[in-house]
Amino acid sequence: MKKVMIASKNPVKIQSVKNGFEKMFPDQEFEFTGMSTPSGVADQPFSNSETFLGAKNRANTIFTKFKDADFHVGIEGGIEHFDNEMEAFAWVFIISKDKCGKARTGTFFLPNEVVNLIKEGKELGDADDIVFNRRNSKQESGAVGILTGDVIDRTKYYTEAVILALIPFKNVDLY
């Protein structure tokens, strides 16, 4: 059984990692453990590079603490100004003893009311909770789930990026 350490206790992130690994490696067994890990970036990353660094830092921190695990996964959600709007996305960074994989989710644009709250200093999840009268939405369907009517919830959204980040581990002879 292979051990996967996830740099988060967020149930959405844990389930996304589990889904991604099980889809990419259906014949293998995994043990998944989540642990709160600092990102080393702002609570609400405001650029692609800061968001990427947050995912990488989380994975590296959990790798340093649990070298005996087979995989170490960091996920970081972020936002960035783009063409007078604000887009949302996330990065996934996966480390093993001998390689790493990384991938970014798709991008979607946030409604003005949410953007205005973010500009006032709120994190995306908190802004969503205020605008959509929710509680702790970032540990449930998230902004993407709210805005798509759960056609794509936060778990599905992250799962695809986990799968893409696992490409080097599935194709070891190519990477």
What residues form the annotated binding site for substrate? 68-69
List, as residue ranges, the binding site for Mg(2+): 68
List, as residue ranges, the binding site: 68-69
Cα-Cα-Cα-Cα dihedral sign, residues 53, 31, 99, 161: negative
The CA distances from residue 42 to 15, 55, 137, in Å, are 24, 12, 19
